[in-house]
Structure 1
Amino acid sequence: MTRHALIAILLTLADCCQEIRVKSLDGGVVVGRSMEFSLPLNSHLVSEPAGTVHQAPLPPNCHGNPVTFTNRFKTISNWNVFAGKWANSLADGVNEAGVSVSILWFKGYEEYLDPTDITGAACDSAIPHTKIGAYILAKYENVEQVKEDLESGKFPAIWGGTDLNMVPPIHFNIIDKTGAGLVLEHTKGEGVKWYDNTVGVLTNSPPYPWHMTNLRSYPHFQRNDKGREGFQYSSLGDTYTLSQQWTGSGLLGLPGDYTSPSRFIKAATLLSLAPKPATTDEAIVQVFHHMNAADIPYGIVETGPENRVSLTSWILVKDLGRGCVYYRAYTDLSVKRLCLHNLPDVRSAVRIEGNFDGGFRDTSGELQEIDNILLDKHTEL
């Protein structure tokens, strides 16, 4: 594949990323994020120690030393590889202060500063939007600090950086270990906007306020079945009752397609109806199941002029309080984990996708004669 062909494909990718937040009764905050793409992703989780230095490229009209920033915290972040080169922007990450940042596709609504407009003193603090994720993980302990810098003008000026000679259309979801959330968007005609993420969900286009307005159209879903007494009617003086035949009628009409608005509604509804988990471990399990409800199997969705199929390449589940990232990929279905406190103090990486055989554990050696099994053993939910 040529570089130009790859850029053309990237511009028409299915925008199907999703992120959700769950807070457990013991105070744990767990964030789940999926990556849907119509190209094979060579994705890695990259660990960086505190003290790692990042360098931003210089805008064309700036001279002198480029802007640099240094990690205050150890981090785990996700980086993709295209055409044998690391992407210029991380896709997701968490730092040891308990801050998570995710970058989701935002096609059709994005607009960033033109890099040629950055001159003079502005050169000393401006960074490309492809570096925002790394900057947030490097500098901030919580969402409130990000908001304070945005409101006071201390947050860097953001210009449209390139990745594979294109300006990726992206917006940002920032969550900390208290559960506070912030959506950061750069939109046409609006400039820089940020919003409290009160519902704990983010998908893709349109902008976050539009999704929240759309959510008002779906107030009627409920956990319990509707019409438990069945359908009753009268005919020729006799009364008849037709019992309902299926469970789940409380969610009749719930959007189930893969468009960004429908995925936002479905995720927000499921989160609102699900019982709050008692422990952080239970929250991790719940988030994986919520993310499975949005999974795109290979071949279901086609996108772009070449009709490339989209799929859920991987799912990350981040435990912000304990600094652990759980992950599974498309072919290797096993859940794996990286925790910040176990990472070496050198920059290192592990590939997310494994092989099919590595995703299973053979239990033939655990079989017991049937009479030795205690039939009253079970797992309570």
Structure 2
Amino acid sequence: MVSRNARIAVSALVSGALVVAPLAPALACTSVLLPAKDGGFVYGRTLEFGLSLKSQIIVVPRGLSVTGTGPEGDVGKGGLVWTTKYAATGANALGLPILLDGVNERGLAGGLFNFPGFAEFQPVPPGKGDRSIASFELLSYILTSFATVDEVKAGLPQIIVSGVKLAAFGNMVPPVHVSVHDATGKSLVIEYTHGGKLNLYDNPTHVLTNAPEFPFHLRNLAQYQYVTAAVMPPLKVGTTSLAAASSGVGMNGLPGGFLATARFVRAYFAQANAPQLPTSAETVGLAFHIMNGFDLPPGSIGTSAAAGGEGGGVDGFETTEWTSAIDLKNLRYHIRTYENQDVRVVDLKKAAEGLKAIRFIPLDQKPVVRELVP
């Protein structure tokens, strides 16, 4: 359950002076985890990018043999071979059979988030290519191999995650970090940094955005202990009482803008103060409403091919390509896209039944506009 007093725990974790770190450019993906009274959880996130990822829904069956990408860089060749233990569904990118975001049949869910300037993956020793996968295959491996956060923590050190350039990604290494949540509400952040060091961070906030590294986000969040959704009393100035002209004064200190550091703080307080609804099915709608606060207006963030991994290395601007809400209890993956704001859903239990190969489901359906007056 997401504690309303979690900011106290965060402060204890990160007590001490704020360490100065470089602020990352806006790479505006944001995620939260919401509890329901029936014991379920809903994971919501937005996906923003400059490069069009042309996402589809994919359904991966259990019992499928998968070959990871080895250090030579041939996608789906030369790497670790594993058999999928769990079926999974979610959104892919660039026509590839990989998950950017998704859930498996044990209620383990998560997503890849852009992490340029900080991600550094593991070198592959000679002859060890068959133990390796590429960074962009990391979530697919996790969701098809593990049932819980604890299993992820035990299993990931056993493989090598390498930095392989991807032609469809501007011939760059996709610089990602990962957020993972299980059906009990445990959350984990996975980051490969500093020459390929694997960092596994328990995540008491259940929130993730982009760079810098996760510990910086915790230190930064500790500065906002004064923020509250409560009604604030008027300010007393001598015998004069000064009341705010509008409601919401307790949230007046939240950071604005599109930087990942600012979005992390806003997402934490939006999640921590959200009402807890009776069921996870009802919480899906709440997740979409919260994620509305992170929808990126087109033209707000420009991207440059000269800047490298920011926005996928293209000239243009970032948009919210899609927003998802995953019901971890009922195993239902909901998504809406930039072109079509209608919510579409895949029921994993139904979609994986009898499936023998990866299924691709397009997201190019036309939106339905209903005439209210005949």
TM value normalised by structure 1 = 0.81
| CA distance in structure 1 between the aligned counterparts of 2:197 and 2:78, rounded to whole angstroms | 27
Runs of 5+ consecutive residues of structure 2 not aligned to the other structure: 1-23, 307-313
Closer/same/farther in 2, CA of residues 180 and 242 from structure 1, 3 Å limit:
closer
Q: Shift of the alpha carbon at 1:193?
A: 0.7
Residue 207 in structure 1 maps to residue 207 in structure 2: no
Alignment partner, residue 32 of structure 1: 44
Q: Report the 3-state secondary structure (helix = DSSP H, G, I; strand = E; otherwise coil) of the residue aligned with 1:195.
A: strand
- Tell me the CA shift for residue 350 of structure 1: 2.0
Cα gap change, 1:60/1:314 in structure 2, threshold over 3 Å: closer, same or farther?
closer
Deviation at 1:107, TM superposition (A): 0.8
Q: Which runs of structure 2 are paired with 1:329-344 in the superposition (5 Å)?
A: 329-343=337-351
Q: How does 1:227-238 map to 2 (within 5 A)?
A: 227=233, 230-233=234-237
Distance 1:67 1:88 in 2: 15
CA contact (8 A) 1:88 1:163 kept: no
Q: CA deviation digits over 1:55-93, x for unaligned, max 9?
A: 1233349xx964311212221131122xxxx24743112
Q: 1:166 to 1:88 in 2, by over 3 A?
A: farther
CA distance in 2, matches of 1:312, 1:65: 34
Q: 76, 80, 86: which is aligned to 1:67? A: 80
Partner of 2:62: 50
CA distance 1:259–1:88, change in 2 (3 Å): farther
Matched residue count? 335
Equivalence for 1:107: 116
- Given the superposition, is the C-alpha separation of residues 140 and 299 from structure 1 closer, same or farther in structure 2, using an over 3 Å criterion? same
| 1:118 corresponding residue in structure 2 | 125
SS in 2 for 1:213: helix
Q: Call closer, same or farther: CA 1:243–1:132 in 2, change over 3 Å.
A: closer
- TM-fit CA distance, 1:258: 0.7
Identity between Structure 1 and Structure 2 (%)? 29
How far 1:243 moved relative to its partner? 4.0
The question of 1:302 aligning with 2:308 is answered: no
Query: Which residue number corresponds to residue 370 of structure 1?
Result: none
Q: Report the structure number with the largest CA radius of gyration.
A: 1
Indicate the residue corresponding to 1:225 in structure 2: 231
- Is this contact kept in 2: 1:291–1:315, CA < 8 A? yes
Instruction: Give the CA deviation at 1:184.
Output: 0.8
Aligned match for 1:159, one of 157, 162, 178: 162
Give the distance between the partners of 2:67 and 2:43, measured in 1 at CA. Answer: 28
Structure 2 vs 1, CA of residues 53 and 275 (structure 1 numbering), >3 Å: closer, same or farther?
Answer: same
Tell whether the 8 Å contact from 2:58 to 2:358 is kept in structure 1 after alignment.
yes
The root-mean-square deviation of aligned C-alpha atoms, in Å, is 2.4
Matched residue SS, 2:52: coil
Distance 1:325 1:348 in 2: 15
* Conservation of the 8 A alpha-carbon contact between 2:113 and 2:177: yes
- CA drift of 1:233 comes to 4.2
**Which amino acid counterpart does residue 104 of structure 1 have in structure 2?**
F
Which residue pairs with 1:281 in the alignment?
281
Give the conservation status (yes or no) of the 8 Å contact 1:57–1:66.
yes
Question: Structure 1, residues 112-144: CA drift from partner, whole Å, max 9, x if none?
Answer: 123xx4223x33322222221111111111111
Check 1:72–1:88 CA distance in 2 against 1; reply closer, same or farther (3 A cut): closer
CA contact (8 A) 1:19 1:32 kept: yes
SS of aligned partner of 1:132: helix
Residue 80, structure 1, aligned to residue 93, structure 2: yes
Q: Does 1:316 align with 2:324?
A: yes
What corresponds to 1:349 in structure 2? 360
Structure 1 CA distance, aligned partners of 2:28 and 2:172? Answer: 19
Given that 2:122 and 2:195 are in contact with CA atoms closer than 8 Å, whether structure 1 keeps it comes out as no
1: CA distance between counterparts of 2:254 and 2:26?
A: 22
For 1:14 and 1:362, locate their aligned partners in 2 and report how far apart those are by CA, in whole Å. Answer: 39
Give unmatched runs, 5+ long, in structure 1: 1-11, 366-381
Q: CA offset at residue 353 of structure 1? A: 4.5
Structure 2 CA distance, aligned partners of 1:30 and 1:363? 32
Please say which of residues 255-264 and 280-289 is displaced more in the overlay. 280-289
- Kept in 2: contact 1:93–1:100 (CA 8 A): yes
Task: Give the AA of the match of 2:338.
Answer: Y
**Which residue, out of 181, 200, 203, partners 2:187?**
181
Contact 2:67 2:78 in 1 (8 A): no
CA spacing shift, 1:88–1:95, aligned 2, 3 Å: closer
How big is the shift at 1:43? 1.0
Amino acid at match of 2:333: V
Is the 2:26–2:260 contact (alpha carbons within 8 Å) kept by the matching residues of 1? no
Q: 1:21 aligns with which of 15, 33, 44?
A: 33
User: How far has the Cα of 1:41 moved from its partner?
Assistant: 3.3
Q: Cα–Cα, structure 1 residues 65 and 270, in superposed 2: closer, same or farther, change >3 Å?
A: closer
